[in-house]
Structure 1
Amino acid sequence: MAPRGNENTSLAALWKSPTYRESNVRTAALWLKGKRTDDNIGSLWRVHDSLYDFTSFIHKHPGGSDWLNFTKGTDITEAFESHHIKESVQNYLKQYYVKPASGPRFSPYTFHEDGFYKTLKRKALPIAANIPTGPALRSKIWIDLVMLVDLSFAVLAAATSSYLLGFVAGFIMTFLVMGAHNFLHLRDNFRMYYLDISFMSSRDWRVTHALSHHMYPNTLLDIELCINEKIFQWLPLKQKSWALRYGSWFYSPVLFAGLFFLSFLGRRDINQRKKALRADVVIPLLPLFLMYLLSGANFIDTFHMWLWIVCVSSFIFGFLAFNGAHHHPDIFHAGDTPREDRDFGLGQIDAVRDHVEWAHNLFIVLLTFGEHSLHHMFPTIDHTNLHHFYPVFLETCKEFGVKYKPLRLGELLKGSYQQLANVRPNPLPPEKTQR
């Protein structure tokens, strides 16, 4: 970590604890509140070293109003750069410029014009221009079919009282939720609400996942890394207790099974519209009522089957989501020696690993957080279109001497438990360990 003498540099978030971490229960609302405190720009929006007032643009924003409503009073540099590939978007900023920012950014990343990420974006621009914006037709068809199949199995499970069919329904629900994640990153659309069937909230996920984890993976600004450090501690802390290091190996399955319900119980409204009946509160209950209305079973038996389905899905989702892409002793975590070049794109590569097994099947890519490195680079590109960018991505890696190293799922799963027990920060920066 950087010494405290570097407190006023733009790299502060690699070592300084963000305000939201002062609370043990960490929510989307708390993360936003903490970021507004740390960014300290009042009621404006910051992009690089300038402040803008997008108030009049909120309801004109092509991606939907949530993104600007959530981020008012924060630095959105990472989100702006990664969500807008086309350079023409830069012209819109001029209309809303207010004044220069008075202090350094509270962020670990840089965006130099000759750096890795900006170079990659320039090379990606011609490819993006030939890909339709928004979700691909195949993605929409596939996710709708998965939704239909999942509900069908759920109704059959309730009608036959078959917990085996319920397991199948829960298994399919897991991949429905992961596939819905693709649509969550795009402009407002009804398929992003498929994620809400799980009891997680697509609106909250736009903060905790899209704005926090995606922008700052495995740094202290990543709420998914630090959501409850008294239960899961991924950071390589020397003072980590034996119980926390190895106990989490044994109690994690129980927590995974209850993850969806815990997500619902710990929810806080991120827009303080407490009287509004939110879609992410109603949607999780729809499968239960469909199962009851269509199966002919009594409500109590249907309710028990529904709980079983959600718990099965929650367990599989938790197991894969926590262990399958970001946690391994060879993957950068806050506390390890960071790369000298703090380029945003290099930061994504250091904190992400792709799965070797899931690299080429577009259907599996859509349903399993596939093409994960490129997804972190360009989150608003449909998952099934990301493969078009591999040639320029690999070319840019070669140009900058960066080693892109996917891992097998089994190695990532093993490495995630090694990381939970890890108390030795990596003394070598990623550019040295990759050689």
Structure 2
Amino acid sequence: MDFQEDQSRSFINWRGPKWESPFRTSAAWLKSRRGENEDEKLWRVHDKLYDLSKFTAVHPGGEQWLTLTKGTDITEAFESHHLTDTARNLLPKYYVRDAKTARNSPFTFKEDGFYDKLKRKVMTAMKGAKRGPTAQSKMFADCYTFLYLVLGTLSAAYSSLLLAVCSGVCLCCTTVIAHNFFHQRNNFRMYYFAFSGFSVKAWRISHGLSHHLFPNSRQDLEITMFEPFLQWTPHPDKTWITRFVSWIYSPIVYCFLFHSQWISRLIISPEGMIELIPLTLPGAMVFFGVPITSALMWWNVITIIGSFCFSVVGINAAHHHPELLHDGDEPRDRQEMDWGIYQIDAVRDRVEIQGVFPLVIILFGDHTLHHLFPTIDHFHLYGLYPILEETCKEFGIEFRMGTIWDLIRGQFRQLSRNYTITFRKR
């Protein structure tokens, strides 16, 4: 991908969320999105408003997605989650009126545009195939969850740090795999994600609706929630501490991500009995005779290890590199920002794990295609690379991949980057 350094500050032409609280939570992000819409009782798709209230209970993707997004612009979610014309053909039944204001989003989904053509090619290639979780994905999700619980219990019973490390790694793998299931309709495996202390509901917002749809922008909660401690967006006013000292303290942040998410949610907005899921492991330890103080100690050790591994995998997976588009950089075309092209500019895959199953589902692999088609199971994504590369070539876009080491180095370089880049038009 061609780019050039530019010392001037530039912006993607849209507004970021207006935070009314110092806590940048998923609920606060959704509230800011509702403030952008003309009517908080309606859903916006492109330039039309719809009342989907009567459709919510029978939504094939699950009721929660529509409940969460009521009163917001769901254009990006609608386009990327509905790959056939079925949902599009249903919309007129729920039409209320045309929108009176322009969308607060620069992204386009024009007919015969990049994403439209790519999506239609993918649907033709997958005709007749089940897009949801495959038997392979379900098996690995179950196995890693089982290993996390068994190895964790044994680590406490035998006071084994080695077993605790293995259990922590399995917790990381379980969390990454489980995130694929909350992109789908409600299912019990998505709650494997809660063993980490993360909330499925909150992450459906912060990851599924925020990060996946608007990566590396001010609408990406997975960037803004780390600020001011970690600042991946380029800015000439970055301090020396945030640019370079963050290299040292960022691993400490990694270690306590699981704990901080769970504890802060318990204080601010607990979600009932679901909050007990993280206590399954110490409960199992006590059940098998481990003293409660020892059980809590080993559970915390395992959670810290899992949190560190998950953060290393997630933060170094695909997005933070000086050659990737971030808020503040100049995109290819301000007037016509095809959503699919934006995803390619903001994501980079790791060549070592491309198509290697199950590595792709435990290491956020095949990440570009996962962003473009979040409801397609990872098991199918590798077969779609020829279609992606063909469409990129058709639109004059270079599809580049990186190495694991390059992306790890790149995220630290990105933390220190205070200059902007300009992506050349296709």
Q: TM-score, normalising length from structure 1?
A: 0.92
> What does residue 414 of structure 1 align with?
409
2:301 is aligned, of 298, 305, 308, to 308
- Map 1:287-366; keep pairs closer than 5 Å: 287-294=281-288, 296-340=289-333, 341-366=336-361
Offset of residue 268 of structure 1: 7.8
After superposing the two structures, state which structure 1 stretch, 132-141 or 36-45, moved more: 36-45
CA distance in 1, matches of 2:16, 2:27: 17
Match of 1:390 among 385, 390, 405: 385
The answer for unaligned runs of 5 or more in structure 1 is none
- Whether the 8 Å CA contact 1:27–1:268 is kept in 2: the answer is no
Code of the residue aligned with 2:364 in structure 1: it is F
Return the offset for 1:18.
2.2
> Is the 2:151–2:164 Cα contact (8 Å) retained in structure 1?
yes
**Secondary structure of the equivalent of 1:266?**
helix
**How far, CA to CA, are the matches of 1:269 and 1:208 in structure 2?**
19
Bigger mean CA offset, 164-173 vs 120-129: 120-129
Deviation at 1:128, TM superposition (A): 2.9
1:82-101 alignment to 2 at 5 Å? Answer: 82-101=80-99
Distance 1:12 1:24 in 2: 24
Partner of 1:72: 70
Deviation at 1:40, TM superposition (A): 3.5
Q: Report the equivalent of 2:17.
A: 18
| Residue of structure 1 equivalent to 2:130 | 132
Partner Cα separation in structure 1 for residue 170 and residue 308 of structure 2 = 12
For the aligned residue pairs, the C-alpha RMSD in angstroms reads 2.0
Within the candidate set 351, 371, 378, 1:376 is matched to 371
Per the TM alignment, residue 431 of structure 1 is displaced from its structure 2 partner at its CA by: 4.2
Matched, 1:400 2:395: yes
Query: How far 1:304 moved relative to its partner?
Result: 0.5
1:46 alignment partner, SS class = strand
Pairing 1:4-403 to 2, within 5 Å after superposition: 12-13=13-14, 16-20=15-19, 23-267=21-265, 277-279=272-274, 281-294=275-288, 296-340=289-333, 341-403=336-398
CA distance in 2, matches of 1:39, 1:423: 33
Amino acid corresponding to residue 60 of structure 1 in structure 2: V
One-letter amino acid matched to 1:359: Q
AA aligned to 2:276 is V
Helix, strand or coil at the partner of 1:267: helix
**Following TM superposition, by how much is the alpha carbon of 1:100 offset from its aligned partner in structure 2, in angstroms?**
0.4
Query: Contact between 1:111 and 1:344, CA under 8 Å: does it hold in 2?
Result: yes
Cα distance in 2 for partners of 1:299, 1:400 equals 61
Q: For the residues of structure 2 that align with 1:431 and 1:363, how far apart are their CA atoms?
A: 36
Task: For CA contacts below 8 A with separation 6 or more, give which structure has more relative contact order.
Answer: 2
SS at match of 2:96: strand
Residue 253 to residue 168, structure 1, CA distance change in 2 (3 Å): same
2:111 is aligned with what amino acid? E
- Of 370-379 and 387-396, the range deviating more from structure 2: 387-396
Once the two structures are superposed, what CA deviation does each residue of 1:20-56 show, in whole Å capped at 9, x if it has no partner?
3x54320000000011112333310000110000011
User: Deviation above 6 Å: which 4+ runs of structure 1?
Assistant: none
For 2:229, give the aligned amino acid: I
Please state how far the C-alpha of 1:17 moved relative to its aligned partner: 3.2
